Structures are given as C-alpha cells and as structure tokens.
A and B are shown apart, each in its own frame.
Chain A
Amino acid sequence: MRRGWLVFVVMVGVLFFALNAPSEAQKVVKIGGLLTTSGAAAHLGKICLNGANLAVEEINAKGGLTIGGEKYKVELINYDDKCVAKDAVSATERLLKQDKVPVILGTICSHCMLAAMEITEKEKIPILTPIASSVKITSMGYKYVFRNWSNAAIQAETVTRFAAEDLKLKTAAYIGRNDAWSRSAADEFKKRWEKRGGKLLVTEFYELGATDFYPQLTKAKNANPDLIYFCSLSEDGALAIKQAKELGIKAQIMGTDEMNNEQFFKVSGNAIEGAYIYWTEGPKKQKGMEYEQRYKKKYGVDSINIDKGGYDSLNIIANALIKAGTVTDTTKIRDALAKTDYEGIRQKYTFSDNGQAKVEMWIVKIENMKPKFIKPINVYHNPIEPL
C-alpha cells in the first residue's frame, strides 16, 4: 500500500514537471558535419572544423539565424570519418537517421565524398564539400552535391600550365596518394601535361598512412624528370619531400595547397624550399585579415587556407537556409544553395550547374620557408582540356 502511494506521488510529480516545461525552448537548426579529425587527412579536417565552428559561434553570438520568420541557433554536429569510405557511410547514416540534419558540410576525402554522396542524393539532402577534389564528385550529374574549392582538373590545369609555360619544363613524374582524389588528379595531370607536349615518365601511388617513400622516389629519381609533382597532404607530403631531398633528387618540386602550413614545415624541414604549389585563392583581402585575427584569438594558432574554407562553407550553408526559409524542406535548401551569390572572406561564391564553385587559382612559391604569391592562373581562359 505504501509502495503504491509512492509510485502515485512520483508520477504526479513527473506529470507536473512535464506540463510545466517551458514551451518556448530555443529552436535549433542542426547542420551535419563530416570533417575528418583523425587518420590520413586529420590535419585538413581539424583545421576546417575550426573555421566552421568559429562561424557557428559568431552566428549564435548574434542571436542565430532567422529562417522562415523564426530565430534558430545553429548546431554543427560533426562525425569523424577517419578518411575511410565505410566510416563516412556510417557517419552519414547517423547524421540522417539519428540527427536528422537537413544539410551536410563535408567530406574532406574524395573517396568518402563519393560514398556519402550516394546516400545524400537518394535522401535528397544537400551536401557541400569544402575541399574534396576528385573530378567525379561533380561530373556524375548529382543535383544535391556542391563543392566550393578547386577540383583535380583545375589543380592540374594550374600546375601543368605554369610548369610548361613559365618554368619551361619538359619531363615530369607524378607521385601521389592512392585514393580517389589523387587518382583523379593523376589522370588530369597526365592528360594536360601531355597535351602541352610534356612527357610523363613515372606515375607512382602510395598507400594512405605510408611513411617510407624510398621505393617510389628511387624510381622517380632513376627516370631523371625535370619536375616531380606530389599529390599529397601534410602528413604524407612532408615526409615524401624530405626523403626526396635525402635521396639527392634535384628535380623541381611542385605540390598541393596542403604544403604551406606549420605542421608541414615541421616535418619537411627546408626540403620544401623552392617548391611551387597551387593555391585556391589570391593574396589576402581586408575581410580575410580581420577574420585571421578573430581566428587567432579563439584558437591561438595562425589561420591557414582550409579554416577559411570551413568558415565560408558554413556561412554559405547558413545563407542558403535563410534564403530557403525552411529547415526541413531539403529541396528548397538545395535550390537556395544552387543560387548562392555570397561574398565570403576568400572570394565571391557562385556555383555552376554541376555544383562546382568558380575559383581563383594562383601559383605560390615557398621562399625562405614562407609563401610568396607568384602569379594568378585563369584556368577558365583557354584550358588545354575542358574543365
């Protein structure tokens, strides 16, 4: 009898609290994140996430987004795909089934993007990648896929044009990651290099996470090319270029925009001195410099390029949500993204029909262990092969 009364009282108490719960809880719009924080692209993903989180913080500090007449706070729910396709798939499923996000920012690695895209396209969830560069991502006609960085064709066009026309180099070797991005880049590099009259002597790939590049480098050295292009990120590229120097390779080194940051220099030492890399934006602008101070204040480290990419990407998504006026109609959000006309801190963003943003490419030289802007390359003007 005692027990019965106790249960009754507890239930009444719970009911009381439930009925009196504040019905005016702050509305939240969830943005899904698929930014790698461990594994073979951890550096890129973590820094990108920094930028995105800073954008979220600033939006919420101003009270949130006004979407369809209601104020929403933004919450970025990020899962680590470890740069592994199957983890990207399960993370995507989680974002869609468990967190029910209407839009996703990610992924970093191309093979993860290609895997995640299959799910998001089927479920009609727009997904914006801040860096995954395989050409396939925007060439398969998927309507809900967007990219606001350069892609492998644009990168290869930039690099081969500069190497052939400005540096007047004739023979090349390509050493790159064995993943979707680098494979796409290798095809594009070969196509464009050979069309320009160059000879591609050696093409070698290495596994993600590899640390010993002597086999590939020895083969490249043996062919004696004028130029070696490394399609690598910070973790692998730094070691590869350092080892190239150890082996006494004298070829001109060219690489990617992940070869101009502290983590890279720490591992590569001055082996990177004199290398040329592609860069997906021009020299700093006013807005960019102000952002850099805010970034440094929050994170204590200098801003590089990909954090700006994450920051702009998040804001592009926020902007699309406002324009769409809904947090649930994903087709409207997709349409709003497609019509993006947004002035970010890196550039003005608009997307072509296939979801690729127009970008501004430059060649940067590492001189005295610092980046030096050399010249812009307008890839849209007479590309040697269609982009």
Chain B
Amino acid sequence: MGSGAGMIVSVRGEPRFLPALVVHSVHARPRLSAVPGSPLALAWVAGKVVPVARLGEAGPHLVVCLSGGEVVGLWGVEVLDTGFFQKSEHGVEHAGQPVAPLDVALEIEKALEASA
C-alpha cells in the first residue's frame, strides 16, 4: 500500500485525514463575522473573504479547503500533523492508529443542518 499525502486534523476530539490536494492552507483562528440568516461565518484570510463552517467547539486552527470547486474554511479543528502517511484499509495510519478521511462536503452539510 502506498502513502497518503496530506494532514491529520483533530475534529471533535477524533483524528481525521485530509488529503493534500483538498487542503489549501492552514491559519491561526481568525476573527469571524456572522452572516445574518446563515450558519456560515465569514473570515478575512490572506487578503480574501472566506466562508467558514464550524465543525467543533474549540480548535486553534482554520483549515482552508476546496470543496465542490469552492474555497471554504473549517473552524474548530486542530492540525496534528502534515506529510506522508501510510495508507490503510480505511484511510491512513497515524501514530499506529487507523485514521479515516474527513469528508469535507459532508461536514459542511452537517454544519448547515445543525444550525437549521
């Protein structure tokens, strides 16, 4: 089995894998502006306005990803590691443990549903 390139993030206390091609960049938690009538917030990241979905209660990082051709920020996560990880049956291995991939589109959908 080959290696998976990307990063391991902690979402709601669980490690999940994000492929490098999905992730754009990692940032410190920015100031968020609420969007009236929407569960998403807006953040000013590297000179651009980025919609942000809240995945968890706490986390020091904002991970900017590409989902469905759109740029979206994931807030409430913590990046644990980046690089190459051994692929496994369910995703990759990190620190000897299997780590499932994070479905960004699904997470955004859940974030939208939770606030509906």
B and A form one assembly = no
